[in-house]
Structure 1
Amino acid sequence: MAKSIKVTAADGTLYHIAAGYLGDATQWWRIAQLNGLTDPDLSTFVTPVTLTLPTVDASQASGVPGVSS
């Protein structure tokens, strides 16, 4: 079952959320995709917004898909 959390601008960014809940800040894009977001910045969230979190998946590679260094 997917976990939901409430976030506001005070929570910083999806990087912070991913680090805390998924153990890998670079997996912020998974949270974004699941919630229809494109920007990791939460500064525009004035009121609490509910986000659905993906399950922790150790097989996920770090980084953003399609982007290489």
Structure 2
Amino acid sequence: MPTTIKVTANDISLYHVAAKQLGNAAQWWRIARLNDMDDPDLSAFTTPVSLILPATDASQDSGVPGVTA
């Protein structure tokens, strides 16, 4: 069963949510993709919004897929 959390503008961004929930801010895109979002900014959320979190995946520690340093 997927984990669901509530977020508001106080959570600032998906970067912050990913850092707290997944242990890596660079994985914000995984939360966005799972929730049909394309912007990490949460400032427009005036009421709590439910987000589904992906499972922690240590193989995703390098950030956005297909992008290398």
TM over 0.5: yes
Unaligned residue ranges in structure 1 (runs of 5+): none
Compute the displacement of 1:30 (Å): 0.1
TM-score by length of 1: 0.92
Deviation at 1:63, TM superposition (A): 1.7
Task: List alignment gaps of at least 5 residues for structure 2.
Answer: none
Alignment match, 2:27: 27
Deviation at 1:64, TM superposition (A): 1.5
Deviation at 1:13, TM superposition (A): 0.4
RMSD of Structure 2 on Structure 1 (CA)? 1.1
**What whole-Å deviation, never above 9, does each CA across 1:22-53 have from its counterpart, x for those lacking one?**
00000000000000000000000011000000
The size of the alignment, in residue pairs, is 69
2:37 matched residue in structure 1: 37
Indicate conservation of the 8 Å contact 1:26/1:63, yes or no.
yes
- The percentage of aligned residue pairs carrying the same residue is 65
- Structure 1 runs, 4 residues or longer, greater than 6 Å off: none
Supply the AA of the counterpart residue of 2:44. Answer: T
